Every structure is written in C-alpha cells, then in structure tokens.
Amino acid sequence: MTTTLPFIHRFEPAEAPGKPPILLLHGTGGDENDLMPLGGMIAPGSALLSPRGKVLEGGMPRFFRRLAEGVFDEADVRHRAHELADFVAAAREAYGLAAPVAVGFSNGANIAAAVMMLRPEALSGAVLLRAMVPLTDAPAAAEGSLGLDGKPVLLLSGAMDPIVPSDNAARLAALLGASGAEVEQRVLPAGHGLSQADVNLARDWIGRLAPASA
C-alpha cells in the first residue's frame, strides 16, 4: 500500500489497536520489502512503514552516501536525515499514525540514529541493529538540547562485528544516553548479520513500550 509521498515505500496498517507504528529502515542493498517480515515478527499487529533509501551505491539503495567503509559523507547524512524526518511527518498525516519507533539495520540504523540526533520529534524511539555513530560533529549532547528526554532506544551490537567497532557502538549509546534517551545496549555473540537473539530481544522490548497515541 502506497501513497504519493517523497519515498518509494510500503505501508501495512495496524491490525491491533494501541500498538506503536514501526518505521523499518533497511541496510545497504535492501529496499522497502526487505524488513517487512522482521517487522511482523517483532511487532505483530503494528502498522509498518518501510521506505526505500534514495542513494545508490553501485546500484544498491542506501539512506545516505559514504566515502568508504565506515566513513560517512556527513553533509549528506544531515540532508538525508531531515529528508527522512519530513517523509515520516507526511506519512503520519497521510496514514493517521502516531510517531513511529524506528527499527533500522546497519545503514538504516545509522540514519535512524541521525534522525534521533537532528529531528528527535520525528520518532518515539528506536531499535538500532548494528549501528555506529553517524555524525562526528553531532549536536552537544551534554547540553540536553536534543529533545530525547525519556525516548527509549535499544542498541543491539555484535561482539564479532567486522564493520562496527565495539567502542564506536558504545560511544553511540553514551551519546544518546547523555542526550536524555533511555538507552539499553546489548552486545550479542554475533557478527554484522542479525540473529534470532536480535529478533527475540527486539520483540520483547517493543512489547514493553507504552501504547501509541496519534
């Protein structure tokens, strides 16, 4: 189900009242279909909104440009984070949604973290799967100016992840926590790919969230 909105996307309406809507953000090479099955597993009954990243790298969709593995074009990160936040606002109006919980994997988790930093009003929380710090010059978290007070964040990292250094993931958790978010970080015995433990932890965490209110 789609409408005329600025991202190619899929939308599935909620099947259960009060469930938080889920914004699904794929990794490099994915598309709007990629995480829909995951959304159904971790948030049964929730509305699912899944956009396709607009940036192409070797023909593979992403949500922002990178200069090399782990080296981001931070000007593009900022531009794309605002673009995605504007899409979320338009989709909320079009579909009658509360602020969604982002569930992002890899590149999708990184853009979700950037939206949390730059446009915190766009999201009610986030599940960040294999995320790293998206902006080296993020707004000053210690000043508490990011509007993240009380927003829940689940950060699931892989102890054997060859792409995301463990200290980088820990730094992201600290940055969001210093900004007032309620961060839970778990380091799993996994690499960059997702495991059943990710599914179980994300499902249980989302199940504990407060009911959505549009």
Helix (H, G, I), strand (E, B) or coil at 102: strand
Task: Give the pLDDT band (50/70/90) at residue 144.
Answer: very low
| Tally of domains within the chain | 1
Q: What is the mean pLDDT of residues 120-135?
A: 96
Q: Sign of the CA dihedral 170, 175, 178, 184?
A: negative
Task: Give the pLDDT band (50/70/90) at residue 139.
Answer: low
| Residue 54 domain-assigned (yes or no) | yes
Residues annotated catalytic, as ranges: 106, 161, 192
Strand ranges in the chain using DSSP code E only, listed in sequence order: 9-12, 22-25, 48-51, 55-57, 60-62, 66-68, 71-72, 101-105, 125-129, 152-158, 182-188
Q: pTM of whole model > 0.85?
A: yes
What pLDDT, on the 0 to 100 scale, is given for residue 142?
A: 41
pLDDT tens column, 92-121: 999 999 999 999 999 999 999 999 999 999
Residue 146 has pLDDT above 70, yes or no: no
Q: Which domain holds residue 147?
A: 9-207
Q: Buried b / exposed e across 93-126, counting CB within 10 Å, b at 16+?
A: eebebbbbbbbbbbbbbbbbbbbbbbbbebbbbb
Cβ atoms of 154 and 124 within 8 Å: the answer is: no
Residue 153 has pLDDT above 90, yes or no: yes
pLDDT tens column, 44-73: 999 999 999 999 999 999 999 999 888 899
| Residue 1 domain-assigned (yes or no) | no
* Percentage of residues in the chain having pLDDT higher than 70: 94
| Residue 43 domain-assigned (yes or no) | yes
Residue 213 has pLDDT above 80, yes or no: no
| Residue 3 domain-assigned (yes or no) | no
CATH number at residue 188: 3.40.50.1820
pLDDT tens column, 12-46: 999 988 899 999 999 999 999 999 999 999 999 99
| Residue 2 domain-assigned (yes or no) | no
